[in-house]
Chains A and B, each alone.
Chain A
Amino acid sequence: MKPTIRTPTLRRFQVQRDLAVLVLVVAGCAAPFLSQPFHMDDNFYMDMAHGARAHPLYPYDAAYDFGGYHASDTGSHSHPPLETYLLAAVQHFFGEGEGCEWTYHSIFLFFPVLGAWSLYFIAARFVERPLWPSLAFAVCPVVLVMGHTLMTDIPAVSLWLAAIACFLYATDAGSRRFYAASAGLQVAAVLFSYQAVALALLLGYYQIRKRGRAIGWIALLLPLVVLSAWLTMSSLHYHRLVLAGTAGYVQSLGFLSPAVIGTKMLAFLEYQGWLIVFPFFLLYLFARGLKGRLFALAALGALYLAEAVVPDYRPLDKAIFVIGLIGGAFVVAHMGMLAGRAFRKRNMESCEFENVMAQFLVLWYFGDAVYCLFVLPAGSARYVLPLVAPVLILFFRRLEVMEISEYRAERAPLMNSAMVASGSLVLTLAWGLFLAQADFEFARIYPRAASAFERISAGLDAYLTGEWGFRYYFSRVGAKPLPADESAVHGGTFIVIPKLAMPYGMPADLQSMTMPFARLTFDVRTPFRTMDVSTPAGFYSTGWGLIPFSLSTRSLETLEIRQVNFMVERLPWARIECAGGVMPWPGLVFTGDRALAVLALPGTRITYPWTTRVPMRLDLAIGLVPDRSATPTDAALDFMIQARDARGHVVEEFSRTLNPGSNPKDREWQPVRILLPAASSGGETLLFEVQARGKSTATCAFAQSILTPQ
């Protein structure tokens, strides 16, 4: 005898109690992380919100430099504008600045609550205890980690769930109010994320199968009409199909190449295996069959695949890969089996769900799977958020079926369904909190780093070559994204290059004029990594690795600070006087390491305009290029550096005579430090000179000249 489906009657008190529990759980899980610094793409949406405040009707009008590229507007970026407007409103009313992150996160807490509540009502159509899947949604790792960001994913999936809940109840009860609510929520969802247009297909299927009222079609068409209107308006404004630009970007990432699809497929399994339910319980419930042989076979296959696909991973990372792969594969397999039963002509009410509901669940799941694999440019944990709900519904429905079977069984199992249900919730919560803490510590690196950098740069021009929270917090201390036209970057400027935060390459011409200035490393207390460069942790993107997390004790982020060599970059604009007719040139010398230098023959004077408005310290090394070094008969060399005011008076001076011919120590590099006053009137100069007291064949160098604020 098989278990039967019994849709629960929701009693008012029970519903109020359950919803209150959900609020408490969501708030309790979020509370430790409310101060999380803006993280990952939060920065992008905050920038868009600035644009919305400047141009409310067309929020994407402002030019934007991203990843080393320049866009004259952001009309074709990957999301519609509702998130932007929401953040613009928060910025307007609550401001922006140090310590205000908790305000944003508190406001955005509305969305996970909405998602958990909505799943509660959806689950009530599928399972007898809707609180379980909705609680699991609130504590599942992917929701816990993403819940502390301002990205569109959690808002979009919450609105998606709310729209579905309203539509299911509207169709079943024929309620105009619920149809209207669903339409409103669908409009909001599609204005948060283009992906939500799939709701029209999913709910349309339900509308047909359940023979919903005609008004249901209006509710389904309204979001499409609104989105089309916005896209049309934007396309007319920007004189192009804005979605074509979005598509062009996705295409540029090779999203349909077999390698990329393979990567997305593996990541799709990994994220499901690790980030929805703690894997032990997922495997305990889904990996049964053939008396354990099925699990053993799957494990063996996953091991072989790991050796083939990720042979360079550490054993620990391979183990994470294998577990995630098996877990994800069994989820897909069970969804596939459900699909097989749901779409068979014979009635399937002998299993977990009513036929139409099972079909609905399967279409929901596989619809999102198709989107993840064939439309999105890469793998990311956040992309599987929309399919968390169907997986959890199936998981807990299976437990309910198991519970009935246990009741009828002669012998109680070692771990019964109640233990699995409560254990999965507790361990999933703990697991989610570990990962959320890891992500929290990762996010906290960048405000610290920005403060450290602010002390170093002391207001000098600075550029950054990365994204995420790195960009947000460094922008707040005055650094700007590296402009697409690198010729705008002048000598003395700092350039900060992160190792982890999506660094983008500097053009080779600019790179050739930079030299290392400082290196800052940042550690975190937790060994868990959601993103890392030394392990293949790729929670947010498969670009960093194929597993959703890893473990490491190494530094998480390293920032390399480089300075554009003032003497080299400004050489074309310097006044040159040279006796022998050979102009000084920029090159590389060996000073223990390769060093950037201006090379000159004796008899050369180089005069730079000095325009820096803050007092600076100039450190450099003077000497002779070793491979062309002097012979004992070479003459003495007089090196001189002078800072002169607008009238030509010397205000600071350094001079040194080297006798490379007679004194071997003078063939070594000589360190020089000179304090340079701030330029004020505009005619100040900086002079470098080398003269020989006789005949000399030496090539002289002013090497590794570094400017530091005094």
Chain B
Amino acid sequence: MICVLGYLLLVIGCDSARSSRTFADRFAVVAGGGTHDSFQQHTPVVRNGRQEDATILVAPITVRANLAGYHGALRLSLLATPVFNIGDGIQMDVFLVNGSNRNRICSRYFDAGRNAADRQWIAMDVPLDLWNRQDSQVEVQVSGGPQGDLVADWLALAEVRIDGRRSG
């Protein structure tokens, strides 16, 4: 009886275990904006005991995700952390790209080597105004720190999602 119950629990649970697609799966490396080796998806990253299924961006790199299907006043929320605690820091800039317009909507410098507060998952919340914009894209650019030291400049993004109304 217990065996059967246990077995059923296992089998029923199988479906829920399959990884689901997230907004981060929309990201792709921009042509000339880095190599595919610098872009890793669904990689487990641990910070302060918290493991996340992360997208890793190795500086210098630029990735973009299209916002097709999204409409209105939205928020891009994500968790970010440097993968390593060494190096002179990592600069992350987020742009909203619409045709030829490219507006910086968020900028953050991560410095886990020198700043203890950056040695954790950092929640970020970026407003996105997508009124009357049909082919918008969100662009994430990751570059090295001020001393130009590119050692260990790996940034992990997790739980990337767009909150708000979704058209269609």
Determine if B2 and A509 form an interchain contact, defined as CB atoms under 8 angstroms apart: no
| Cα distance A568–B86 in the bound complex, in angstroms | 8
Which stretch (A28-36, A344-352, A414-422, A578-586) binds chain B? A578-586
| Cα distance A256–B83 in the bound complex, in angstroms | 33
Determine if A246 and B114 form an interchain contact, defined as CB atoms under 8 angstroms apart: no
Determine if B151 and A588 form an interchain contact, defined as CB atoms under 8 angstroms apart: yes
Taking a contact as CB atoms closer than 8 A, the residue among B47, B87, B114 that contacts A572 in the complex is B114
Using known A-B contacts A194-B2, A256-B11, determine if residue A70 contacts B49 with beta carbons closer than 8 Å: yes
Determine if B10 and A508 form an interchain contact, defined as CB atoms under 8 angstroms apart: no
Q: Which B residue's beta carbon lies closest to that of A374?
A: B7
B70 to chain A, nearest CB (A): 32
Using known A-B contacts A568-B113, A582-B147, determine if residue A251 contacts B83 with beta carbons closer than 8 Å: no
A573 at the interface (CB under 8 A from B): yes
Using known A-B contacts A70-B49, A483-B49, determine if residue A246 contacts B84 with beta carbons closer than 8 Å: no
| Cα distance A197–B48 in the bound complex, in angstroms | 40
Determine if B14 and A585 form an interchain contact, defined as CB atoms under 8 angstroms apart: no
Q: How many residues of A contact B (CB 8 A)?
A: 48
A512 at the interface (CB under 8 A from B): yes
Using known A-B contacts A486-B48, A568-B86, determine if residue A587 contacts B5 with beta carbons closer than 8 Å: no
B112 at the interface (CB under 8 A from A): yes
Using known A-B contacts A486-B46, A509-B112, A587-B151, determine if residue A231 contacts B2 with beta carbons closer than 8 Å: yes
| Cα distance A486–B114 in the bound complex, in angstroms | 17
The residues in B between 36 and 91 inclusive whose CB is less than 8 angstroms from any CB of A are 45-49, 82-89
User: Chain B residues near A513 (CB, 8 Å)?
Assistant: 85-86
User: Chain A residues near B31 (CB, 8 Å)?
Assistant: none
| Cα distance A599–B149 in the bound complex, in angstroms | 11
B6 at the interface (CB under 8 A from A): yes
0 or 1 for each of A339-381: is its CB under 8 Å from B? (1 = yes):
0000000000000000000000000000000010011000000
Using known A-B contacts A227-B2, A508-B46, A512-B152, determine if residue A586 contacts B86 with beta carbons closer than 8 Å: yes
A243 at the interface (CB under 8 A from B): yes
User: Chain A residues near B5 (CB, 8 Å)?
Assistant: 243
0 or 1 for each of A231-267: is its CB under 8 Å from B? (1 = yes):
1000000000101101110111001100000000000
The residues in A between 201 and 250 inclusive whose CB is less than 8 angstroms from any CB of B are 224, 227-228, 231, 241, 243-244, 246-248, 250
The residues in A between 434 and 491 inclusive whose CB is less than 8 angstroms from any CB of B are 483-487
| Cα distance A511–B88 in the bound complex, in angstroms | 17
Using known A-B contacts A484-B49, A486-B48, determine if residue A197 contacts B83 with beta carbons closer than 8 Å: no
User: Chain B residues near A551 (CB, 8 Å)?
Assistant: none
User: Chain B residues near A231 (CB, 8 Å)?
Assistant: 2
Q: How many residues of B contact A (CB 8 A)?
A: 40
A3 at the interface (CB under 8 A from B): no
The residues in A between 487 and 529 inclusive whose CB is less than 8 angstroms from any CB of B are 487, 507-513
| Cα distance A586–B116 in the bound complex, in angstroms | 13
| Cα distance A70–B50 in the bound complex, in angstroms | 10
Taking a contact as CB atoms closer than 8 A, the residue among B6, B86, B113, B116 that contacts A246 in the complex is B6
| Cα distance A473–B6 in the bound complex, in angstroms | 35
A303 at the interface (CB under 8 A from B): no
Determine if B49 and A255 form an interchain contact, defined as CB atoms under 8 angstroms apart: no
A153 at the interface (CB under 8 A from B): no
Determine if A256 and B10 form an interchain contact, defined as CB atoms under 8 angstroms apart: yes
Determine if B10 and A512 form an interchain contact, defined as CB atoms under 8 angstroms apart: no
B92 to chain A, nearest CB (A): 17
B72 to chain A, nearest CB (A): 37
B13 at the interface (CB under 8 A from A): yes
Determine if B147 and A585 form an interchain contact, defined as CB atoms under 8 angstroms apart: yes
A689 at the interface (CB under 8 A from B): no
User: Chain B residues near A82 (CB, 8 Å)?
Assistant: none
0 or 1 for each of B1-24: is its CB under 8 Å from A? (1 = yes):
111011101110110010000000
User: Chain B residues near A228 (CB, 8 Å)?
Assistant: 2
| Cα distance A568–B113 in the bound complex, in angstroms | 7
Determine if B10 and A250 form an interchain contact, defined as CB atoms under 8 angstroms apart: yes
A270 at the interface (CB under 8 A from B): no
B115 at the interface (CB under 8 A from A): yes
User: Chain A residues near B120 (CB, 8 Å)?
Assistant: 487
Determine if B48 and A487 form an interchain contact, defined as CB atoms under 8 angstroms apart: yes
A198 at the interface (CB under 8 A from B): yes
Taking a contact as CB atoms closer than 8 A, the residue among B17, B48, B82 that contacts A485 in the complex is B48
A596 at the interface (CB under 8 A from B): yes
Taking a contact as CB atoms closer than 8 A, the residue among A197, A572, A596 that contacts B1 in the complex is A197
A571 at the interface (CB under 8 A from B): yes
B153 to chain A, nearest CB (A): 11
| Cα distance A231–B48 in the bound complex, in angstroms | 33
User: Chain A residues near B17 (CB, 8 Å)?
Assistant: 251-252
A400 at the interface (CB under 8 A from B): no
User: Chain A residues near B147 (CB, 8 Å)?
Assistant: 582, 585, 599
| Cα distance A584–B89 in the bound complex, in angstroms | 11
Using known A-B contacts A197-B1, A246-B6, A568-B86, determine if residue A251 contacts B13 with beta carbons closer than 8 Å: yes
A569 at the interface (CB under 8 A from B): yes
Determine if B114 and A583 form an interchain contact, defined as CB atoms under 8 angstroms apart: yes
| Cα distance A229–B5 in the bound complex, in angstroms | 15
Determine if B48 and A256 form an interchain contact, defined as CB atoms under 8 angstroms apart: no
B55 to chain A, nearest CB (A): 15
| Cα distance A637–B5 in the bound complex, in angstroms | 73
A109 to chain B, nearest CB (A): 30
User: Chain B residues near A586 (CB, 8 Å)?
Assistant: 85-87, 113-114
Determine if B88 and A509 form an interchain contact, defined as CB atoms under 8 angstroms apart: no
User: Chain B residues near A572 (CB, 8 Å)?
Assistant: 113-116, 119
| Cα distance A677–B88 in the bound complex, in angstroms | 32
User: Chain A residues near B45 (CB, 8 Å)?
Assistant: 507-508
User: Chain A residues near B154 (CB, 8 Å)?
Assistant: 508
A286 to chain B, nearest CB (A): 30
| Cα distance A328–B86 in the bound complex, in angstroms | 53
Q: List 19 A-B contacts (CB under 8 A).
A: A194-B3, A228-B2, A251-B10, A256-B11, A256-B14, A485-B49, A486-B48, A487-B48, A508-B83, A508-B154, A512-B83, A513-B86, A568-B86, A568-B113, A572-B114, A586-B113, A586-B114, A587-B149, A587-B152
Closest 5 CB pairs of A and B: A485-B49, A512-B84, A507-B46, A572-B116, A484-B49
Interface residues of B (CB under 8 A from A): 1-3, 5-7, 9-11, 13-14, 17, 45-49, 82-89, 111-116, 119-120, 145-147, 149, 151-152, 154
Interface residues of A (CB under 8 A from B): 70, 194, 197-198, 224, 227-228, 231, 241, 243-244, 246-248, 250-252, 255-256, 371, 374-375, 483-487, 507-513, 568-569, 571-573, 582-588, 596, 599
Other contacts beyond A586-B87, A587-B113: 16, CB < 8 A: A70-B49, A224-B1, A243-B6, A374-B7, A375-B3, A375-B6, A484-B49, A487-B49, A487-B119, A507-B47, A509-B83, A509-B85, A509-B119, A568-B113, A583-B114, A588-B152
